[in-house]
Amino acid sequence: MRSYRKELWFNVPTRRAFINITNQVEECLRESKIREGLCLVNAMHITASVFINDDESGLHHDYETWLEKLAPHEPVSQYRHNATGEDNGDAHLKRQVMGREVVVAVTDGGLDFGTWERIFYGEFDGRRKKRVLVKIIGE
């Protein structure tokens, strides 16, 4: 069995953003030379997500609106977590809703996606360097 590991780095200039990382994950898969197996992609921070959905700007706007209704950033004093001196209580909750990781089947050297599926990095507390892990196993 072959095993491949790579960290992708992001430094998002805004507090929140959704970034399509599908091409970067496909590049990892090419580098791995794995043709059949599984590809795990996970955020390595507890205020960021990796998820799969449609690359459609209206949907991303809807996510932003929905997440701000569920866990508004302001007022930061509403979160017990922020009593530690942080201001990212909302980001932890948003990450929980959007998920930590995705696993995609690798078939015939490609990511075996469903219709319109793409992989996204969801940033909820940006403006600093953060990592995503890509781990691919198979043969």
Residue closer to Zn ion (CB basis): 24 or 47: 47
Length of the chain: 139
Cα dihedral 6, 12, 15, 17, rounded to 10, equals: -80
- Minimum separation from the CB atom of position 99 to Zn ion (A): 18
- Minimum separation from the CB atom of position 15 to Zn ion (A): 13
Contact set for Zn ion, span 67-106 (CB under 5 A): 86, 88
Question: Are the C-beta atoms of 122 and 51 separated by less than 8 Å?
Answer: yes
- CA-nearest of 124, 93, 114 to 22 is 114
User: Quick check: 26 binds Zn ion (CB under 5 A)?
Assistant: no
Residue closer to Zn ion (CB basis): 55 or 86: 86
Residues 6+ apart with CB under 8 A from 131: 7, 8, 9, 10, 43, 44, 45
Residue closer to Zn ion (CB basis): 89 or 138: 89
- Minimum separation from the CB atom of position 81 to Zn ion (A): 6
Residue closer to Zn ion (CB basis): 37 or 122: 122
User: Which spans of this chain sit near Zn ion (rule: CB under 5 A)?
Assistant: 86, 88
